[in-house]
Every structure is written in C-alpha cells, then in structure tokens.
Amino acid sequence: MAVSNLVRNLRDAELMLVDGTSPTPLSLTVVLDEGDLTWTERLNTIEVKDRGKISGGHLRRGDDVSVTLSFSAKWTQLIGKSASSGDPLQLYEFLTLASGTEVVSTSADGEQETLTLVFKVVDPAGVAGETITFEKVYRETLSLSEGDEFNVISLTGRSFAVAPTVERLV
C-alpha cells in the first residue's frame, strides 16, 4: 500500500476520552477542542564517564519516563449529568470523574484515577489513518481560564507508559 504524502492537520483528527466501565466503557469525544494535543516521549540515558571524560566511558539506559501530554478545549459548561441525570456528560465531569456521572477510572481500586485518551487521525487521502492511544492517563493539572471570545479547559497529565500505542486505522 502506498504511503500518503498529504500532511495531517487539526481538521483530520478527533480526541476521545474513555473510562474503565466494564464491559462497555463510557466515552466522550472532545468537542470544540483547540487541536493542540501535545505529547512528549523521553528516554533517560546515564552517561558513565571515565574520571569525567567521555573517552573510555559508555552509555546506559536510564529509568523509564512516562509520557507527558496536554490538550485544551473551549468550555461550554462544566457540569451536566452530575447536576441532572438527564443532562449530557460534560468534559469537566469526565476529566474529574465527577460524582453522579458513572465515569469509572481505568486503574485498579486504590490507585490514582486514570482514563484512556484515544487520538484518531484520519488520512485525508484515505490511505493511512492512525490511532494513538494513551493508557492510564492521570491528571497533573486542570486549568480553566476565561477569554473574550470563549473560556478554555486545559489538561496537563501523564500516561503511565513510555510511549503511546500507535496503530494503523482499519
């Protein structure tokens, strides 16, 4: 199969949050997102030097480092389902696993609450779309800010993995 030469941009993707409800997880597609999902994979390296000199030394793999990630979305409303069971689930409620929403952590009881983030990027040429899955994502910061045209919710977190899982869309 040929590889597409068309670059992808924010119009070709969607971000979905998935919880740990079994057997059928709850999911929420992030609407009005800024298209600014960012993640960083790091590889720690230990430089073993010979009396401070590189010559004669060597490199060793260091400790694993979890993936950092962030995204933001325009804020429509903070609470829905937690205030009234007939209202739709809101992004803020999903990210905070708010009481009364039935959103369940993807981690075991007693561990830090986590979610799964699935970033789906469709190839505009229809050749090689991809899904990037971040497992066990925990929130480090959740920032809410107001603006002239719209308010914004921003999440910064980590995926408890050294890299996301990248797969070709079927």
- Name every residue whose Cβ is closer than 8 Å to that of residue 96 and which is 6 or more positions away in sequence: 139, 142
**Per-residue model confidence (pLDDT) at position 1:** 52
Residues 10-60 pLDDT 10s: 888 999 999 999 999 999 999 888 889 999 999 999 999 999 999 989 999
CB 137 within 8 A of CB 69: yes
Q: d(Cα 24, Cα 13) in Å, to the nearest integer? A: 23
**Per-residue model confidence (pLDDT) at position 50:** 92
**Residue 131, beta-bridge partner list:** 120, 167
**Residue 158, beta-bridge partner list:** 68, 138
- State the average pLDDT over residues 84-111: 94
In this structure, which amino acid lies at residue 109? D
**Per-residue model confidence (pLDDT) at position 6:** 79
Residues 65-78 pLDDT 10s: 999 999 999 998 99
Query: How confident is residue 104, by pLDDT bands cut at 50, 70 and 90?
Result: very high
Question: In the predicted model, what is the mean pLDDT of the chain?
Answer: 93
Q: Which residue has the tokens 């480092």?
A: 65
